[in-house]
Amino acid sequence: MARVAVVTGGTAGIGLATAHALAERGWSVAVIAREQNRLSSVERALAAYGQPVLAISADVADSKAVDAAAERVERELGPIRAWVNNAMSTVVNPADQITPDEYRRVTETTYLSQVYGTLAALRFMKRRNRGAIIQVSSGLAVRAAPLQAPYCAAKFAVSGFTDALRCELLHDRVNVSLSVIYLPAVNTPQFNWARNRTGHRQYAPDPVFDPRLCAEAIAYAVEHPRREVWVGRSSMMMAAAQALAPALADRKAASMWPAQLSDETIPEMKGNLFEPVPGPVGIDGRFSGRTKASRAEFVTSRTRDLVVGGLAGLALIGLAGTVNAARSARRLPDRT
Protein backbone atom coordinates (compact mmCIF):
# COMPACT_ATOMS: atom_id res chain seq x y z
CA MET A 1 0.00 0.00 0.00
CA ALA A 2 1.29 3.45 -0.94
CA ARG A 3 2.05 6.00 1.74
CA VAL A 4 -0.69 8.63 2.00
CA ALA A 5 -0.07 12.39 2.04
CA VAL A 6 -2.54 15.27 2.24
CA VAL A 7 -1.75 18.65 0.63
CA THR A 8 -3.97 21.66 1.29
CA GLY A 9 -4.11 24.37 -1.33
CA GLY A 10 -2.87 21.72 -3.73
CA THR A 11 -4.34 22.93 -7.03
CA ALA A 12 -1.91 25.77 -7.76
CA GLY A 13 1.60 27.03 -7.12
CA ILE A 14 3.66 25.40 -4.38
CA GLY A 15 0.82 23.10 -3.31
CA LEU A 16 0.40 21.72 -6.82
CA ALA A 17 4.17 21.33 -7.24
CA THR A 18 4.28 19.47 -3.90
CA ALA A 19 1.44 17.15 -4.89
CA HIS A 20 3.36 16.25 -8.06
CA ALA A 21 6.65 15.81 -6.17
CA LEU A 22 5.08 13.40 -3.68
CA ALA A 23 3.12 11.46 -6.32
CA GLU A 24 6.30 11.09 -8.35
CA ARG A 25 7.96 9.57 -5.26
CA GLY A 26 5.22 6.94 -5.02
CA TRP A 27 2.93 8.61 -2.49
CA SER A 28 -0.83 8.41 -2.74
CA VAL A 29 -1.90 12.05 -2.57
CA ALA A 30 -5.10 13.72 -1.37
CA VAL A 31 -5.51 17.34 -2.42
CA ILE A 32 -7.79 19.75 -0.53
CA ALA A 33 -8.81 23.01 -2.21
CA ARG A 34 -11.94 25.01 -3.08
CA GLU A 35 -12.19 25.21 -6.88
CA GLN A 36 -13.82 22.03 -8.18
CA ASN A 37 -12.70 22.25 -11.82
CA ARG A 38 -9.02 22.59 -10.83
CA LEU A 39 -9.44 19.74 -8.35
CA SER A 40 -10.72 17.46 -11.13
CA SER A 41 -7.83 18.44 -13.39
CA VAL A 42 -5.25 17.83 -10.66
CA GLU A 43 -6.81 14.48 -9.80
CA ARG A 44 -6.40 13.33 -13.41
CA ALA A 45 -2.81 14.60 -13.61
CA LEU A 46 -1.71 12.92 -10.36
CA ALA A 47 -3.37 9.62 -11.29
CA ALA A 48 -0.84 9.32 -14.11
CA TYR A 49 1.83 8.48 -11.53
CA GLY A 50 0.08 5.20 -10.82
CA GLN A 51 -1.11 5.62 -7.22
CA PRO A 52 -4.62 6.30 -5.90
CA VAL A 53 -5.52 10.00 -5.75
CA LEU A 54 -8.28 11.89 -3.99
CA ALA A 55 -9.45 15.46 -4.64
CA ILE A 56 -11.63 17.06 -1.96
CA SER A 57 -13.42 20.38 -2.25
CA ALA A 58 -13.31 22.12 1.12
CA ASP A 59 -12.58 25.50 2.67
CA VAL A 60 -9.65 24.94 5.03
CA ALA A 61 -10.91 27.82 7.20
CA ASP A 62 -13.80 25.51 8.19
CA SER A 63 -12.61 23.14 10.92
CA LYS A 64 -15.49 20.72 10.43
CA ALA A 65 -14.80 20.52 6.70
CA VAL A 66 -11.12 19.79 7.39
CA ASP A 67 -12.04 17.05 9.89
CA ALA A 68 -14.43 15.51 7.38
CA ALA A 69 -11.75 15.61 4.69
CA ALA A 70 -9.27 13.81 6.95
CA GLU A 71 -11.82 11.12 7.73
CA ARG A 72 -12.53 10.66 4.04
CA VAL A 73 -8.82 10.32 3.24
CA GLU A 74 -8.41 7.67 5.92
CA ARG A 75 -11.46 5.81 4.66
CA GLU A 76 -10.71 5.95 0.92
CA LEU A 77 -6.90 6.07 0.67
CA GLY A 78 -5.65 4.67 3.96
CA PRO A 79 -3.66 5.84 7.00
CA ILE A 80 -2.37 9.40 6.66
CA ARG A 81 1.42 9.43 6.90
CA ALA A 82 2.03 13.09 6.00
CA TRP A 83 -0.03 16.28 6.09
CA VAL A 84 1.18 19.43 4.31
CA ASN A 85 -0.49 22.67 5.47
CA ASN A 86 0.07 24.89 2.46
CA ALA A 87 -3.15 26.89 1.90
CA MET A 88 -2.91 30.65 2.40
CA SER A 89 -4.27 34.03 1.40
CA THR A 90 -3.13 37.62 1.73
CA VAL A 91 -4.19 41.23 1.26
CA VAL A 92 -1.80 43.73 -0.30
CA ASN A 93 -2.45 47.09 1.30
CA PRO A 94 -1.17 49.30 4.14
CA ALA A 95 -2.14 47.86 7.53
CA ASP A 96 -4.52 50.68 8.48
CA GLN A 97 -6.38 50.34 5.18
CA ILE A 98 -7.20 46.65 5.62
CA THR A 99 -10.66 45.92 7.04
CA PRO A 100 -11.38 43.80 10.14
CA ASP A 101 -13.14 41.23 7.95
CA GLU A 102 -10.05 40.95 5.77
CA TYR A 103 -7.79 40.50 8.81
CA ARG A 104 -10.10 37.80 10.10
CA ARG A 105 -10.23 35.96 6.78
CA VAL A 106 -6.45 35.97 6.24
CA THR A 107 -6.04 34.71 9.82
CA GLU A 108 -8.53 31.92 9.17
CA THR A 109 -7.02 30.80 5.86
CA THR A 110 -3.33 31.27 6.66
CA TYR A 111 -3.07 30.53 10.39
CA LEU A 112 -6.19 28.70 11.61
CA SER A 113 -6.18 26.46 8.52
CA GLN A 114 -2.81 25.15 9.68
CA VAL A 115 -4.15 24.63 13.20
CA TYR A 116 -7.20 22.77 11.89
CA GLY A 117 -5.12 20.65 9.51
CA THR A 118 -2.63 19.81 12.22
CA LEU A 119 -5.33 18.80 14.70
CA ALA A 120 -7.12 16.71 12.09
CA ALA A 121 -3.90 14.88 11.22
CA LEU A 122 -2.94 14.36 14.87
CA ARG A 123 -6.23 12.60 15.64
CA PHE A 124 -5.08 9.77 13.41
CA MET A 125 -1.30 10.03 13.74
CA LYS A 126 -1.13 10.00 17.55
CA ARG A 127 -2.97 6.72 17.85
CA ARG A 128 -0.44 5.14 15.44
CA ASN A 129 2.52 7.06 16.92
CA ARG A 130 3.73 7.91 13.43
CA GLY A 131 3.48 10.73 10.90
CA ALA A 132 4.89 13.99 9.58
CA ILE A 133 3.15 17.37 9.62
CA ILE A 134 4.59 20.15 7.46
CA GLN A 135 3.78 23.83 8.02
CA VAL A 136 4.50 25.84 4.90
CA SER A 137 5.59 29.25 6.17
CA SER A 138 7.61 32.21 4.92
CA GLY A 139 10.63 34.36 5.63
CA LEU A 140 7.94 36.93 6.49
CA ALA A 141 7.20 34.83 9.58
CA VAL A 142 10.56 35.96 10.96
CA ARG A 143 11.08 39.36 9.32
CA ALA A 144 7.77 41.07 8.57
CA ALA A 145 7.39 43.38 5.59
CA PRO A 146 5.09 46.30 4.75
CA LEU A 147 1.84 45.92 2.78
CA GLN A 148 1.10 42.38 4.10
CA ALA A 149 0.44 42.80 7.83
CA PRO A 150 -2.33 40.14 8.10
CA TYR A 151 -0.24 37.54 6.28
CA CYS A 152 2.91 38.26 8.31
CA ALA A 153 0.95 38.10 11.56
CA ALA A 154 -0.66 34.80 10.58
CA LYS A 155 2.68 33.23 9.70
CA PHE A 156 4.19 34.43 13.00
CA ALA A 157 1.26 32.72 14.74
CA VAL A 158 1.96 29.46 12.90
CA SER A 159 5.48 29.41 14.38
CA GLY A 160 4.20 29.96 17.91
CA PHE A 161 1.54 27.28 17.61
CA THR A 162 3.97 24.78 16.12
CA ASP A 163 6.68 25.36 18.72
CA ALA A 164 4.18 24.96 21.58
CA LEU A 165 2.75 21.78 20.07
CA ARG A 166 6.23 20.36 19.45
CA CYS A 167 7.02 20.70 23.16
CA GLU A 168 3.82 18.83 24.02
CA LEU A 169 4.60 15.99 21.61
CA LEU A 170 8.08 15.71 23.12
CA HIS A 171 6.59 15.65 26.61
CA ASP A 172 4.12 12.92 25.64
CA ARG A 173 6.77 11.02 23.63
CA VAL A 174 4.65 11.07 20.48
CA ASN A 175 6.62 10.14 17.38
CA VAL A 176 5.01 12.68 15.03
CA SER A 177 7.37 15.17 13.43
CA LEU A 178 6.60 18.87 12.97
CA SER A 179 8.53 20.77 10.30
CA VAL A 180 8.28 24.43 9.34
CA ILE A 181 9.34 25.41 5.81
CA TYR A 182 10.42 29.05 5.50
CA LEU A 183 10.01 30.27 1.93
CA PRO A 184 11.42 33.23 -0.04
CA ALA A 185 9.67 35.08 -2.86
CA VAL A 186 8.38 32.34 -5.17
CA ASN A 187 7.05 32.48 -8.73
CA THR A 188 3.49 31.35 -7.99
CA PRO A 189 0.03 32.48 -9.15
CA GLN A 190 -0.61 34.16 -5.77
CA PHE A 191 0.80 37.38 -7.22
CA ASN A 192 -1.98 37.26 -9.81
CA TRP A 193 -4.90 36.77 -7.43
CA ALA A 194 -4.12 38.33 -4.05
CA ARG A 195 -6.60 40.98 -2.90
CA ASN A 196 -5.02 44.30 -3.75
CA ARG A 197 -6.23 47.88 -3.36
CA THR A 198 -2.92 49.72 -3.80
CA GLY A 199 -3.67 50.67 -7.39
CA HIS A 200 -0.52 48.87 -8.58
CA ARG A 201 0.04 45.26 -9.55
CA GLN A 202 1.88 43.22 -6.92
CA TYR A 203 5.50 42.45 -7.79
CA ALA A 204 7.86 39.75 -6.51
CA PRO A 205 11.18 41.36 -5.50
CA ASP A 206 14.39 39.55 -6.42
CA PRO A 207 15.50 36.88 -5.92
CA VAL A 208 12.49 34.87 -7.07
CA PHE A 209 12.59 31.08 -6.73
CA ASP A 210 10.94 28.17 -8.51
CA PRO A 211 7.90 26.59 -6.78
CA ARG A 212 9.43 23.21 -7.54
CA LEU A 213 12.39 24.03 -5.30
CA CYS A 214 9.92 24.63 -2.48
CA ALA A 215 8.20 21.34 -3.31
CA GLU A 216 11.55 19.52 -3.13
CA ALA A 217 12.19 21.02 0.31
CA ILE A 218 8.71 20.02 1.52
CA ALA A 219 9.03 16.47 0.17
CA TYR A 220 12.46 16.20 1.80
CA ALA A 221 10.99 17.23 5.18
CA VAL A 222 8.21 14.68 4.76
CA GLU A 223 10.65 11.82 4.18
CA HIS A 224 13.55 13.14 6.32
CA PRO A 225 11.92 15.12 9.16
CA ARG A 226 13.68 18.30 10.17
CA ARG A 227 12.57 20.96 12.63
CA GLU A 228 12.99 23.72 10.05
CA VAL A 229 13.91 24.07 6.40
CA TRP A 230 15.01 27.40 4.92
CA VAL A 231 14.47 27.73 1.17
CA GLY A 232 16.52 30.23 -0.82
CA ARG A 233 19.32 32.45 0.38
CA SER A 234 16.97 35.37 1.00
CA SER A 235 14.96 33.57 3.71
CA MET A 236 18.16 32.83 5.63
CA MET A 237 19.35 36.42 5.19
CA MET A 238 16.04 37.76 6.53
CA ALA A 239 16.32 35.59 9.63
CA ALA A 240 19.95 36.58 10.21
CA ALA A 241 19.19 40.29 9.81
CA GLN A 242 16.28 40.11 12.23
CA ALA A 243 18.37 38.25 14.82
CA LEU A 244 21.48 40.41 14.57
CA ALA A 245 20.21 43.90 13.74
CA PRO A 246 16.42 44.20 14.00
CA ALA A 247 16.33 48.00 13.78
CA LEU A 248 18.40 47.92 10.62
CA ALA A 249 16.13 45.15 9.32
CA ASP A 250 13.14 47.44 9.98
CA ARG A 251 14.63 50.14 7.79
CA LYS A 252 15.55 47.66 5.07
CA ALA A 253 12.03 46.23 5.10
CA ALA A 254 10.56 49.75 4.92
CA SER A 255 12.54 50.34 1.74
CA MET A 256 10.89 47.24 0.23
CA TRP A 257 7.49 48.98 0.01
CA PRO A 258 7.98 50.16 -3.61
CA ALA A 259 9.81 46.93 -4.52
CA GLN A 260 6.59 44.99 -3.94
CA LEU A 261 4.58 47.06 -6.42
CA SER A 262 5.07 47.40 -10.16
CA ASP A 263 4.60 50.57 -12.17
CA GLU A 264 1.55 49.01 -13.81
CA THR A 265 -1.65 50.60 -12.52
CA ILE A 266 -4.67 48.35 -11.97
CA PRO A 267 -8.19 48.64 -10.59
CA GLU A 268 -9.00 47.16 -7.19
CA MET A 269 -8.59 43.37 -7.18
CA LYS A 270 -11.00 41.26 -5.10
CA GLY A 271 -8.67 38.28 -5.44
CA ASN A 272 -9.29 34.84 -3.96
CA LEU A 273 -9.73 35.91 -0.34
CA PHE A 274 -13.35 34.86 0.09
CA GLU A 275 -14.02 32.98 -3.14
CA PRO A 276 -11.67 30.95 -5.38
CA VAL A 277 -10.56 32.46 -8.65
CA PRO A 278 -11.92 30.22 -11.44
CA GLY A 279 -9.97 28.70 -14.29
CA PRO A 280 -6.67 26.85 -14.68
CA VAL A 281 -3.64 28.51 -13.09
CA GLY A 282 -0.88 25.89 -12.87
CA ILE A 283 2.33 25.95 -10.83
CA ASP A 284 4.11 29.04 -12.14
CA GLY A 285 3.31 32.72 -11.91
CA ARG A 286 4.29 35.51 -14.26
CA PHE A 287 7.93 35.88 -13.17
CA SER A 288 9.42 32.87 -14.95
CA GLY A 289 11.94 35.08 -16.72
CA ARG A 290 13.45 36.07 -13.35
CA THR A 291 13.15 32.74 -11.56
CA LYS A 292 16.31 31.17 -10.11
CA ALA A 293 16.99 27.85 -11.79
CA SER A 294 18.37 26.09 -8.70
CA ARG A 295 16.38 23.09 -7.45
CA ALA A 296 18.62 22.39 -4.45
CA GLU A 297 18.94 25.69 -2.60
CA PHE A 298 17.54 24.85 0.79
CA VAL A 299 19.13 24.42 4.22
CA THR A 300 17.74 22.36 7.09
CA SER A 301 17.93 23.22 10.76
CA ARG A 302 20.31 20.29 11.25
CA THR A 303 22.82 21.85 8.86
CA ARG A 304 22.31 25.26 10.45
CA ASP A 305 22.85 23.86 13.95
CA LEU A 306 26.03 22.11 12.88
CA VAL A 307 27.36 25.35 11.39
CA VAL A 308 26.34 27.43 14.41
CA GLY A 309 27.70 24.79 16.74
CA GLY A 310 30.99 24.76 14.87
CA LEU A 311 31.24 28.54 14.97
CA ALA A 312 30.37 28.55 18.66
CA GLY A 313 33.02 25.90 19.27
CA LEU A 314 35.63 27.96 17.45
CA ALA A 315 34.59 31.01 19.45
CA LEU A 316 34.95 29.09 22.72
CA ILE A 317 38.36 27.80 21.67
CA GLY A 318 39.41 31.34 20.82
CA LEU A 319 38.07 32.62 24.13
CA ALA A 320 39.85 29.87 26.03
CA GLY A 321 43.08 30.74 24.26
CA THR A 322 42.66 34.39 25.19
CA VAL A 323 41.98 33.51 28.83
CA ASN A 324 44.97 31.18 29.01
CA ALA A 325 47.20 33.82 27.44
CA ALA A 326 46.00 36.34 30.00
CA ARG A 327 46.68 33.92 32.83
CA SER A 328 50.17 33.19 31.49
CA ALA A 329 50.92 36.91 31.26
CA ARG A 330 49.93 37.36 34.90
CA ARG A 331 52.37 34.60 35.89
CA LEU A 332 55.35 36.08 34.04
CA PRO A 333 58.02 37.60 36.37
CA ASP A 334 58.46 41.35 36.38
CA ARG A 335 61.81 41.98 34.67
CA THR A 336 61.79 45.76 34.93
The answer to whether 122 and 176 are in contact (CB under 8 A) is: yes
The answer to whether 53 and 29 are in contact (CB under 8 A) is: yes
| 151 belongs to the catalytic site | yes
Closest CA to 10 of 214, 298, 180: 214
Edge-to-edge strand ranges of the sheet holding 228-231: 53-57, 28-33, 4-8, 80-85, 131-136, 176-182, 228-231, 298-300
49, 111, 116, 151: the active-site residue? 151
CB-based contacts of 54: which residues, under 8 Å, 6+ apart?
28, 29, 30, 31, 43, 72, 73, 76, 77
Interaxial angle between packed helices 113-128 and 149-172, expressed in degrees from 0 to 180 and rounded to the nearest 10: 20
Backbone angles phi, psi at 41, to 5 degrees: -65, -45
The answer to whether 121 and 45 are in contact (CB under 8 A) is: no
The residues annotated with a catalytic role in the active site are 151
